[in-house]
Amino acid sequence: MSVLLEIENLNTGYNGVSVVRGLNLQVSEGEVVALLGPNGAGKTTTLLTASGLVPIISGEIKVFGKSIKGRRPHLIARDGLAHVPEGRSLFYQLTVAENLRLGAAKGSADVKKALGYFPALEPILDRRAGLLSGGEQQMLAMARALTVNPKLLMVDEMSLGLAPIIVERLLPILRQIAAETGAGVLLVEQHVHMALQVADRAYVLSHGELVLEGDAAEINKDRSLIQASYLGGAK
Ligand code: ATP
């Protein structure tokens, strides 16, 4: 199983100040990995750094075996990294179909395949994205990411603003995508136990440092582990 994302001893942050320190993390082909931790732990910053949007202070990130240092975000994306950011960032004035077509890279559009994972979008292809429910918008954001056939998919707080029942329906789709396409999935999620149910492995960050990592099912079995790590007491 090849490693798609390799983060080694990463220090990253803003204006030279590290908010993530000494992070080691890997995502392999076909694997779902959850990145967990309380607010402000550095999860979003980690994803932004892997996308090339926040510069590395020190350490290394390799995407598909290549260092991302000095590489522009769109070039990293073109290699096969799709990032669904917090807040979905859709074109709200455009229709569902238009959003999907815009997401698709020239020549590699695979809107139909993306819709296969989110059939609920089919009947509303002509609706403006701004008029969709939160769950539909999140499906659209993920479907748009899939139109480029990503090898690595990073999803930041998919559940933000969604009812738990919707999250319960959407999270397993990430598992299905990983199994069927071989893509690696890195998932930042506040719904810890739901995330652990779909993930293979998990990492927990607290105050920018890794406090727990391991098999998701093992971590899910021992809730005291995750509680302690959220309070900064694990390890
Ligand atoms: P949340 O669940 O709240 O999004 P998170 O784990 O994703 O939390 P980050 O958003 O990565 O955390 O934030 C980590 C730290 O970096 C926080 O202390 C935050 O205030 C700080 N931070 C985030 N964005 C910036 C920025 N643009 N400039 C300076 N500091 C920032």
Domain extents for the chain? 3-80+151-230, 88-149
| Residues 12/45, Cβ–Cβ less than 8 Å | yes
Centre of ligand 1 from the C-alpha of residue 73, in Å: 19
Provide the percentage of residues in the chain whose pLDDT is more than 70: 94
Best mutation site among 35, 43, 160 for ligand 1, i.e. most ligand atoms within 8 A of its Cβ? 43
- The predicted pLDDT at position 235 comes to 44
Model pLDDT, residue 233: 47
| Residue 153 contacts residue 174 (beta carbons within 8 Å) | yes
Model confidence pLDDT, tens digit, residues 31-84: 999 999 998 999 999 999 999 999 999 999 999 999 999 999 999 999 999 999
Query: In what helix (H) or strand (E) does residue 173 lie, and over which residues does it extend?
Result: helix 164-181
Asked if residue 91 has pLDDT above 70, the reply is yes
Is the model's pTM score more than 0.75?
yes
Which atom number of ligand 1 is nearest to the Cα of residue 48? 11
Written as one letter, the residue type at 97 is: A
Helices 96-103/134-146 angle, 10° precision: 30
Counting ligand 1 atoms within 8 A of each CB, the residue from 10, 20, 44 with the most, and so the one to mutate, is 44
The fourth-level CATH superfamily of domain 3-80+151-230 is P-loop containing nucleotide triphosphate hydrolases (3.40.50.300)
Q: How many Cα neighbours within 13 Å face the side chain of 224?
A: 0
- What are 150-163's pLDDT values in tens digits? 999 999 998 888 88
AA identity, residue 17: V
**Residue with CA nearest ligand 1 atom 23:** 45
Instruction: Give the pLDDT confidence score for residue 144 in this predicted structure.
Output: 92
